[in-house]
C-alpha cells in the first residue's frame, strides 16, 4: 500500500494565522511583471534619469564647487560626493512612487486586491508581493545608476559594488512604509502629503552637502531621516570604507523595513477583510 506524504508548510505558514499568509507572494510579483511587460518604456525612462543627473553635476554645478571632503576625510570631486546620494534618492523615489500611487489605485479604484483575496492569496502575500516588486524595480534602476557611475569613473573601490544591495535595502524600507501610508489615503489630492515628506528628505538628508554644515539641533533631526542612513552607507562603501558604525545604519533600515511590512499587511487586512 502506497502512503502519500503531504508536503509540510513552511515556517510562516505554520506560525501565522490562517488566511493572512498563503505563501503566494511570488504570484503578486508575477502579475506585476506581466502587467509592466507591456509598458517597458516606463523602465527605459527610469534608466536615463541617473545619466542626466550626473552629467548635469559634472558639466555644471560640480565645476563651481570643486573638491569636497569625502567620508574618510580625503578630498574627492563633488560629483563623486553626490553620486552615491543620488543613487539612494533614486531608490527612495522609485520605491515610494511604485508603492503609493499604484497601491492607492488598486485599493480605491481597480479593486485589484479584492479580486486577489478571492483566490488563495492572503493580505501578507499582497504586502510582500507589492513591496518585492517595488524593490525589484528599484534594483534595476540601482544597477543602471551604478553602471553610469562606473562609466564616469566615480567608483573608487571594489567595495563599491555593495552599493547595489544597500540600494535594495533602501528601496525595501521606503516601499514598505510607502505602502502602509498609501492605505490611509482617501483621495488623489492627499498625495501632496507624501511629497511634503519625500521632498525634504531628498534635499536635507546630506544629499548635496555634509552633515557638518547643519546646526546642532537640526543635525539630530537629519540623523533621524531614513534616507540619511542610506546615503551614509553608500558614501562609505563607495570610498572603500567598512566601519562598525555602518551596523547602526543597517539596523535602522532593517527595523524600518520590518515595521513597514507589518503595518502594510495589517492595514490591508483591516481595509479588505473587515
For range 73-100, the mean pLDDT: 85
Could you tell me which of 229, 239, 238 has the C-alpha nearest to residue 207? 229
Return the C-alpha torsion angle 27, 38, 185, 122, nearest 10: -10
Residue count (the chain) = 274
Residue 8 confidence class, pLDDT cut points 50, 70, 90: very low
| pLDDT over 90 (residue 253) | yes
Q: Which pLDDT score is estimated for 21?
A: 59
Share of the chain above pLDDT 70, in %: 87
Question: What is d(CA 178, CA 176) in angstroms, rounded to the nearest whole number?
Answer: 5
Is 243 in a helix, a strand, or coil?
coil
| pLDDT over 60 (residue 18) | no
CA angle 32, 97, 95 (to 5 degrees): 75
Spatial CB neighbours of 54, under 8 Å, sequence gap ≥ 6: 79, 83, 86, 148, 149, 152, 154
DSSP state letter for 161: G
Domain boundaries of the chain, sorted by first residue:
23-272
187, 271 in Cβ contact below 8 A?
Answer: no
Helical (H) or strand (E) element with 75: strand 75-77
For range 106-133, the mean pLDDT: 83
Question: What is d(CA 222, CA 216) in angstroms, rounded to the nearest whole number?
Answer: 10
Q: Which pLDDT score is estimated for 117?
A: 80
| pLDDT over 90 (residue 74) | no
Q: How far from the centroid of its chain's Cα atoms is residue 6's Cα?
A: 38
CA angle 193, 43, 41 (to 5 degrees): 110
Select the highest-mean-pLDDT range: 65-69, 73-77, 206-210, 230-234. 230-234
Residue 230 confidence class, pLDDT cut points 50, 70, 90: very high
Q: Which pLDDT score is estimated for 166?
A: 92
| pLDDT over 80 (residue 271) | no
Amino acid at each position: 500500500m502506497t502512503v502519500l506524504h503531504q508536503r509540510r508548510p513552511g515556517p510562516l505558514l505554520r506560525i501565522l494565522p490562517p488566511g493572512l499568509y498563503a505563501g503566494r507572494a511570488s504570484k503578486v510579483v508575477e502579475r506585476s511583471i506581466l502587467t509592466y511587460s507591456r509598458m517597458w518604456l516606463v523602465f527605459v525612462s527610469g534608466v536615463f534619469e541617473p545619466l542626466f543627473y550626473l552629467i548635469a553635476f559634472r558639466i555644471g554645478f560640480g565645476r563651481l564647487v570643486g573638491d569636497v571632503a569625502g567620508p574618510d576625510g580625503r578630498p574627492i570631486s563633488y560629483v563623486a560626493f553626490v553620486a552615491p546620494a543620488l543613487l539612494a534618492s533614486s531608490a527612495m523615489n522609485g520605491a515610494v512612487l511604485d508603492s503609493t500611487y499604484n497601491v492607492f489605485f488598486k485599493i480605491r479604484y481597480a479593486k485589484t486586491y479584492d479580486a486577489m483575496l478571492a483566490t488563495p492569496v492572503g493580505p501578507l502575500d499582497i504586502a510582500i508581493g507589492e513591496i518585492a516588486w517595488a524593490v525589484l524595480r528599484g534594483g534595476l534602476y540601482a544597477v543602471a545608476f551604478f553602471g553610469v557611475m562606473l562609466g564616469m569613473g566615480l567608483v573608487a573601490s571594489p567595495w563599491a559594488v555593495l552599493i547595489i544591495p544597500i540600494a535594495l535595502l533602501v528601496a525595501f524600507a521606503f516601499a514598505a512604509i510607502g505602502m502602509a501610508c498609501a492605505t490611509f489615503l482617501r483621495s488623489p489630492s492627499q498625495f501632496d502629503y507624501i511629497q511634503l515628506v519625500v521632498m525634504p528628505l531628498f534635499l536635507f538628508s546630506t544629499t548635496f552637502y555634509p552633515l557638518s554644515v547643519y546646526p546642532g539641533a537640526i543635525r539630530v533631526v537629519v540623523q533621524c531621516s531614513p534616507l540619511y542612513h542610506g546615503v551614509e552607507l553608500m558614501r562609505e562603501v563607495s570610498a572603500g570604507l567598512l566601519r562598525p558604525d555602518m551596523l547602526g545604519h543597517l539596523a535602522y533600515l532593517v527595523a524600518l523595513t520590518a515595521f513597514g511590512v507589518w503595518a502594510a499587511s495589517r492595514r490591508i487586512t483591516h481595509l479588505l477583510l473587515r
